[in-house]
Each structure stands twice: as C-alpha cells, then as structure tokens.
Structure 1
Amino acid sequence: MKSTPLRIAPWIPLLIGMLAISFAPILVRYSNAPVSVQGMYRMLFTFLLMLPFGKSSLGQIRNISRRDWLLLTAAGFFLALHFLLWMASLSYTTIASSTIILALEPVFVMIGAYFFLKDRLHRYAVIGMGIAVCGVVIVGSGDGSLSRTALYGDVLSLLGTLAIVVNMLIAKRLLTRVPSYLFSLLTFGMTAAFFTLYNLVVGVRMTAYPPREWMIFLLLAIIPTVFGHLIFNWLLQYVKATTISMSVLAEPIGSSILGMILFGEMLAGFQYTGGALVIIGLVLYMRAEQGQALLPSTPNTQESSPISAIGK
C-alpha cells in the first residue's frame, strides 16, 4: 500500500530524532537510581505508550508459535542485558567513549549475519569495519592510560553492544514471521519483565523514588525512544533505511558535545582521532551496503525497522 506523502521536509524529523537519541546517556548519567531500575521503567513506560496504537495487531498474538515465543523471550533477555551493561558503563567511562563503542553495533551485526545467517559481505564494508575497529582500539587505549576504571567501562559498553547484536540477529529471523509492531511491543514488555526479575533477585529497590527520578524514567521513554527511535522507524516510510542508519551515527557526536558542556568530560587528542576513525569507518560501511539496501516500502525494510536503533 502506498504511503501518504510527507508534508514536511524529511530533515526536520530527522534532526529531531538525532537530537533526541543524543540525550539517552545524558539522562542515564543524571539519574541516581540503579541502572536496572532505569532500564525497567524505560521499557515499561515505552510499552505502555505503544500499547494504545496497535490494538489491531494484538489479535495476531495467537498466531505466534511456541518456538517464536522462545525466540521473543531470548530477544527480551538480550535487550535487557544490553541496557544493563551499556547503562552501567556510563558510571565508569566517559559518555563519548561509551557511545562511540556502541556505534559499532551495525558492524557486529554484519559479522554475525555473515556467520549465522550466511549474508554476503561487501569488500568495502569489510574495509570500513576494519577502520572503525581500529578507531575503537585507539579510544579504548586512551581510556586505559587514564584509569582501569575507564577501561572497565569501555569493556561494559563493548559487551552491551554484543548483547544488542544478538537481539538484532534474533529479530532478523523473527520479523519474517511476526509483525514488527508486535515484535517490538512484546520484546519491550519482556525486557521490562527481565529487569523486574533481576531487581527482585538482587534486592534492588523498585519504588519510593523521588519525583525527579520518576521524571527521568519517563523522559528516557519519551525522548530517546519515542522522539528518537520511533521517529526513525516512522521515517522509513519516506527515506531509505541507510539514511536512518547514517543519522544514528550522530549520537556519539551529539552525546559527546553534551557530555563536555554538562559534565566537563574532555577526551585526549588522539581519542578524538579514534572517534573520527570510528565515524569514517561506519560511514564507509554504510555506503558500501547502500547499494544492497532495500527501499523503505519493501517488506524487509518495514519489518526490520522497529529495533534497528533501539540499542541506546
């Protein structure tokens, strides 16, 4: 079915989305609540915000097979693990380092898709991947020279990135059988449930937080998720998926600038070089893959969109 023409210039909602996702690490840093509580309420509030807009899709739950329910559960687990590790990394390393490492997500997805889904690799995409990895090594080496604590935070961010990659690979299989809205809704709900279970087992307090914290929980759901990632998903009706993927690369830049302004976090000169290499490598990777990218109106692009940029 042909989509309604976009009545405003695409760069306007694109810019809004780019600014919104840059606030994710800032909000995490401002909160004094445990990251498992932040993640739980971010997913719960996003789930509740999405629920009224997909009533027509809820009836399709009965068509999900037992095997796909297991995969949905696994997707929720790895999304929860991603948030737990990445959000925790922000307590140990700089916002810039954490988000630059997280930006490697599409590269790791490409590697996983090659080994597990037998996707083909473009030569220049591999070159871009190599450049990006070199950049991350430079950023990480800089943090290692600063302190072991910062390097530990970089490792947490890297492990969190690997967790979201597993989530993405599971999604790539599931979205051929489960509608995209339903996949996102159920995955977010399960992620919130896993966080709840984790908090109960570890003994983390989940209530009695001051109003300031509840506002941050809600803003985490609204700003980077609804006004960030869901705007990107909506834009896939009008622009190519590669355009959205390239826009997500603005997060390390925007978050780093905000980190400098709000928290005074400055990087060493060679770490700026490493960050630039990451961005250059990822741009080269995206451009290499652009020729194989599907237009947003095709089923594949539509179905893969809802979790394409949620790992922030």
Structure 2
Amino acid sequence: MSLPTPTTPSPSRARVYGGLMLGVVAVSWAAPLIRFAEAPSLAISAWRLTFASVPLLLLALLRGRGEFSALTPRTWGWLTLSGLALALHFATWIASLQYTTVASSVALVTTTPIWVVLFAWLSLSERVGPRGLGAIGLCLAGSVLIGARDFALGGQALWGDVLAVLGAILAAAYFVIGRRVREALSLGTYVGVVYSVAAVALLVAHAFVDSPLTGFTPRTWWVLVGLAVVPQLIGHSMLNASVRHLSAPFVSVAALGEPVLATLWAVLLLSETPDMVQLLGGGMALVGVVLMAREEALRQPPPPDMVPAAD
C-alpha cells in the first residue's frame, strides 16, 4: 500500500499579493539608493552584483550539484553571454543616474518588456500582433519625448537617457537568452551562475578603467549592501515568487509601480520633481508596456519564474 504524496498547500491570496507588493516596493528603492552611494557607477554595479551573487551561488551549489555536472559547454556559453548582458545592463543603467533624473532613467529602463518582444520577434520568430506594434510605437514615442525634453536641457541629460535605454535593451537581451537556457535549469542555478558571471565581469573591468573599487565611506558600503539585499535579493525574489501564482503579464504590469514609487522617493529624498513633459513621456512609455503585457497574455507565457525586471 503506497502512501499519498504530500502536497504543499498553496499560499493565501493575501500572501501572494502581499509578496508582489513587497517586491515592487523593494525594487523601487534601487535608483534612490544608487544616488546615495558616493562611488563610481562601475563600482556600484560590481559590488551590488558581488554581494548578491555570493549567497545565491552558494545556495545553487548546495541544491543543484546535479545540474552543474550536467551543463554542456554550449549551455555554459549561453550562461556566460547572459551574465555579460546583465553586467552591461547594470553598468549602463546605473551610469545613467549620474546624468539624468530618476524619473527619466527609471521610465526609460522600464521599457525592457518592449525590447524583449522585439528581440523575441527577431531571434525566436515570435509573432507580434497589431496591438503589440501599437504598444511598441507608443512606448518609443514616450521615450523620444523624454529624450527631446532632456536634449533641450543639455547633452548631459540626453546622454543619461541614452544610457538608460541601452540598459533596457541589454536587460532584454539577458531575458531572451534566459528563455533559451531556463528550459533545462532551475531558477536558483540560473541566477546563481549568471549573477556570478556578471559580478566577475564587472570586477575585471576595473583593471581596464581608471575607477576606484575601494576606499569608500562606511555609509556608501552600507548603501552597496542595501542595494544587493533590498532591490536585488528581496525585490526580485518576491517578483519571481509571485509569477508562480499569478500570470506573468499581470506581474509585469504590477511591476510598473517601480518607476512610480522610485519617482516618489526621488521627490521626497532628492528633491527631484518631474515636469509635465517627463510625466507625459513616462506615462506614454508605461502605457505602452501595459498594452504589451496584455498582448503577451494572449500568447504563450514565458517560463514561470522569469519576470521582466532587472533593476
């Protein structure tokens, strides 16, 4: 006589939505915390990923030894490419915050889902319907409006916008590569390896640039640890956990609370009040992402624990 297989009870609705809310709030602190770090953008990127990757890699080694031994050279190549894309994402987006406002930066980097669809269209031959094309157009129009506004303020702000858009494009590359690799890997193993590759790449980059990696104030070190713990480990873990119980498009739309909250924190803590052009352009970009999420809801969803959020 066989014993019944024990089942894990599903979490309550309040717990699921509470976890999603916690994840959104946690990731929204990334941009304001970066502003408080008195360190070069490359060092911020390197230490944020280093502090986050160490516990994740150790956990992956403990839980997924069999997965590591089964990895082929081809899979290692994809994991390395994904890690490099993630490293460049953080390097460009965090650098954008030195040139433009939090409102402009987070609105532009949040366009990642649009670029994911474009890359999937080009590399995976995934179809984009009329609504998707309209969402892409609206999102790009909002981005152009923000860029035009910042161009009028000077080249420095516009350069920050360019870096934020590059950050969104590189995050999209990271997620598209993840769609290929994640079919044969657990989330813990994938994230543990990719974060570690990204951390090593950013640490090595300091050998080729004139940028300090140490010598920061105690407050800056605490900020760097906070970046790894709050938006990275808590925020992204909660968002990934939410997708196990809620649809990926729903979580993608909920994650749009990040730029709204980040802008609010910037107003309260940094005295950065967005003007009407920023609000209009950012609103257009976010509406475009919402429309794209609705389009994605009609398509086959991505793997259950891949969420388009990397900030």
- Shorter chain as normaliser: what TM range? over 0.9
- The correspondence for 2:33, drawn from 2, 27, 31, is 27
Task: Tell me if the contact between 1:242 and 1:293 (Cα under 8 Å) persists in the aligned partners.
Answer: no
Unaligned runs of 5+ in 1: 295-299
Report what 2:308 is aligned to: 308
Distance, in Å, in 1 between the alignment partners of 2:42 and 2:66 is 31
Aligned length: 304
Scaled by the length of structure 2, the TM-score of the pair is 0.92
Instruction: Kindly indicate whether residue 84 of structure 2 is the aligned counterpart of residue 82 of structure 1.
Output: no
Report what 1:5 is aligned to: 10
Distance, in Å, in 2 between the alignment partners of 1:71 and 1:18 is 29
Query: How big is each residue's C-alpha offset from its partner over 1:92-125, in whole Å with a ceiling of 9 and x where there is no partner?
Result: 0000101111111000110110011011112212
Displacement after TM superposition at 1:3 (Å): 5.0
Displacement after TM superposition at 1:51 (Å): 3.7
Unaligned runs of 5+ in 2: none
Amino acid at match of 1:153: G
Displacement after TM superposition at 1:203 (Å): 4.0
Q: Structure 1 residues 218-227 or 47-56, which shifts more?
A: 47-56
Amino acid at match of 1:73: T
Distance, in Å, in 1 between the alignment partners of 2:24 and 2:46 is 24
Q: How do 1:143-292 and structure 2 match up within 5 A?
A: 143-292=150-299
Distance, in Å, in 2 between the alignment partners of 1:165 and 1:14 is 21
Query: How big is each residue's C-alpha offset from its partner over 1:241-299, in whole Å with a ceiling of 9 and x where there is no partner?
Result: 112111111111111111111112122312211111112111111112212254xxxxx
Amino acid at match of 1:190: V
Query: How big is each residue's C-alpha offset from its partner over 1:194-216, in whole Å with a ceiling of 9 and x where there is no partner?
Result: 01100122243323322211111
Instruction: Kindly indicate whether residue 49 of structure 2 is the aligned counterpart of residue 47 of structure 1.
Output: no
Distance, in Å, in 1 between the alignment partners of 2:102 and 2:222 is 21
Distance, in Å, in 1 between the alignment partners of 2:213 and 2:146 is 35
Amino acid at match of 1:17: G
Q: Structure 1 residues 187-196 or 177-186, which shifts more?
A: 177-186
Report what 1:130 is aligned to: 137
Distance, in Å, in 2 between the alignment partners of 1:15 and 1:169 is 25
Displacement after TM superposition at 1:182 (Å): 1.0
